[in-house]
């Protein structure tokens, strides 16, 4: 299949869609320079000190660190907070925003990323569902209450030991605070903020369900939450899915896929005749 043909179907679907759901997985931000945690080698490339300690992503993203040794827990999450704060969202986010404005699409974003990149790229906070929470919000480790508050802390991390030099505290009880992010084997995550976002998303689906196009970005099969959500919209509401994924692009018709990274895929779709008007 030539590329012009491959991008014309998704471009036509977006051009004819009143509503757009953007679903985003871990591969979405790779073009912004964010590390890919796929497999231990990918994780250790981003965090060499953890290789020495024999710790992989699942071990590092463990809520037990915050209870037993919060400086160690905050080493990983503090570094990621700082990284996401200084990351500039790649042009693909702006391509989407331009299409949304130009075509007057009603839109909702569903992301498994905790990095806040959609907000940073100017997407409306009230139209985003962060299914695994947000690193830019904190909660108590105990937790002493269901409070969730914005993370305004400066957290410097010693990159040799991967330990934080300061630990954010709970605004209520003074115990260590932790990111309001769903970790592996996590029974303490307070989901209230994500639950409220989900209610808004469900309302959006209730109002727009019959005419949705799903643009899925960098969502893999390892943690299939995002893929499953799009496919469910396909089955339940007849939504058409445009899967953009460089490694796991497969999907059955009538859905379509592009085996490209998020930025490349969006660039090519936006440049197609159906959307560019050329």
- The answer to the question of residue 97 lying near Zn ion (CB under 5 A) is no
DSSP states along 16-32: T-SEEEEEE-GGGGGGG
Binding mask 65-84 for Zn ion (x = CB under 5 A): --------------------
Position 144 contacts Zn ion (CB under 5 A): yes
Applying CB under 5 A, does 211 fall inside the site for Zn ion? Answer: no
- Residues comprising the chain, all counted: 278
Whether 15 contacts 275, CB under 8 Å: yes
DSSP string across 68-130: H-HHHHHHHHHHHHHHHHHPPPPHHHHHHHHHHHHTT-EEEEEE---S-HHHHTT--GGGEEE
Which of the ranges 149-157, 174-182, 193-201, 208-216 carries the binding residues for Zn ion, by CB under 5 A?
174-182
Number of amino acids touching Zn ion (CB under 5 A): 6
For Zn ion, the closer of residues 153 and 264 by Cβ is: 153
- Contact between 170 and Zn ion (CB under 5 A)? yes
Closer residue to Zn ion (CB): 169 or 211: 169
Restricted to residues 8-37, the positions that interact with Zn ion (CB under 5 A) are none
How far apart, in Å, are the Cα atoms of 4 and each of 215, 264, 271, 273?
A: 18, 14, 10, 9
| CA–CA distance, 85 with 135 (Å, rounded to integer) | 10
Cβ(120)–Cβ(89) below 8 Å: yes
Residue 140 or 213: the one with the smaller Cβ distance to Zn ion is 140
Q: Applying CB under 5 A, which of residues 172, 193, 198, 200 lies at the interface with Zn ion? A: 172
Instruction: Pick one of 169, 173, 211, 259: the residue that binds Zn ion (CB under 5 A).
Output: 173
Q: Report the residue from 61, 105, 140, 270 that binds Zn ion according to the rule CB under 5 A.
A: 140
Minimal distance in Å, beta carbon 176 to Zn ion?
A: 9
Beta carbon nearer to Zn ion, 70 or 218: 70
Residue closer to Zn ion, measured from CB, 149 or 237: 149
Residues 109-138 that bind Zn ion (CB under 5 A): none
CB of 179 to Zn ion, least distance (A): 14
Return the number of the residue (170 or 239) whose C-beta is nearest Zn ion: 170
Question: Minimum distance between the CB of residue 69 and Zn ion, rounded to whole angstroms?
Answer: 18
- Binding residues for Zn ion, rule: CB under 5 A, are 140, 144, 170, 172-173, 175
């Amino acid at each position: 299949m030539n590329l012009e043909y491959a991008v014309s179907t998704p471009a036509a679907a977006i051009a004819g869609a009143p509503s757009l759901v953007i679903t985003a997985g871990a591969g979405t931000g790779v073009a912004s320079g964010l590390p890919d945690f796929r497999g231990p080698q990918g994780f250790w490339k981003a965090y060499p000190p953890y290789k020495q300690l024999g710790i992989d992503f699942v071990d590092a993203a463990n809520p037990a660190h915050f209870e037993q040794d919060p400086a160690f827990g905050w080493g990983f999450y503090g570094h990621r907070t700082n990284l996401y704060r200084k990351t500039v969202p790649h042009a693909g986010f702006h391509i989407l925003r331009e299409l949304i404005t130009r075509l007057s699409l009603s839109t909702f974003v569903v992301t498994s990323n905790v990095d806040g990149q959609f907000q940073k790229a100017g997407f409306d906070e009230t139209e985003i569902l962060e299914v695994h929470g947000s690193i830019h919000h904190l909660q108590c480790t105990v937790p002493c209450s269901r409070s969730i508050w914005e993370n305004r802390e400066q957290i410097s991390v010693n990159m040799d030991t991967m330990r934080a030099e300061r630990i954010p505290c709970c605004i209520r009880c003074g115990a260590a605070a932790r990111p309001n992010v769903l970790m592996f084997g996590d029974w303490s995550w307070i989901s209230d903020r994500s639950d409220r976002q989900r209610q808004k998303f469900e309302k959006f689906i209730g109002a727009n369900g019959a005419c949705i196009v799903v643009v899925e970005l960098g969502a893999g099969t390892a943690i299939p939450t995002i893929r499953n959500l799009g496919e469910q919209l396909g089955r339940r509401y007849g939504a058409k899915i445009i899967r953009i994924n460089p490694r796991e692009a497969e999907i059955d018709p009538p859905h379509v896929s592009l085996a490209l990274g998020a930025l490349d895929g969006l660039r090519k779709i936006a440049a197609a005749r159906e959307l560019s008007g050329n």
